[in-house]
């Protein structure tokens, strides 16, 4: 009765393919984005465009990005567990796509000076 069609009960192990997708999500969204942001902010090659993150980095320092990103990954892990089984794989896939886009954007914008104008 623990698992009623949702991705997994809270204590079971995800499938190997899901584990691989979560590894990609952590590498791109968790590490790639944070690392490129921290390096390029520290080298003053770029600036943080998200207003809340920019304020936090200015007041606390660039190191705040790591626990902040870890908390976001934790929220998405909970979402993964709460999502119906047939759709749960979309969570790490989405994080991987977003993480890859953010990492590539950080590198591109730092070397070209391109900015997002909102």
Q: Which domain holds residue 20?
A: 16-112
Structural domain total, the chain = 1
What's the angle, vertex CA 107, arms to CA 106 and CA 111, rounded to 5?
A: 115
- Asked, for residue 118, whether it belongs to a domain, the answer is no
Please state the pTM of the whole predicted model: 0.81
Give me the mean pLDDT over the 111-117 stretch: 80
Ranking 56-60, 64-68, 112-116 by mean pLDDT, the lowest is 112-116
pLDDT classification of 4: cutoffs 50, 70, 90: low
27-38 pLDDT per residue, tens: 999 999 999 999
| 92 lies in some domain | yes
* 53, part of any domain: yes
For the stretch 17-38, what's the b/e string if a residue is b when 16 or more beta carbons lie within 10 angstroms of its beta carbon?
Answer: ebeebbebbbebbbebbbebbb
């Amino acid at each position: 009765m623990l698992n009623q069609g949702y991705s997994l009960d809270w204590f079971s192990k995800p499938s190997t393919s899901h584990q691989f997708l979560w590894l990609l999500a952590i590498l791109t969204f968790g590490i790639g984005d944070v690392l490129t942001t921290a390096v390029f902010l520290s080298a003053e090659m770029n600036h943080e465009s998200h207003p809340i993150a920019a304020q936090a980095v200015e007041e606390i320092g660039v190191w705040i990005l790591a626990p902040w990103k870890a908390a976001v990954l934790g929220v998405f892990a909970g979402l993964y567990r709460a999502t119906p089984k047939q759709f749960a794989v979309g969570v790490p896939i989405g994080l991987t796509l977003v993480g890859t886009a953010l990492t590539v954007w950080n590198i591109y914008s730092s070397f070209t000076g391109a900015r997002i104008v909102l």
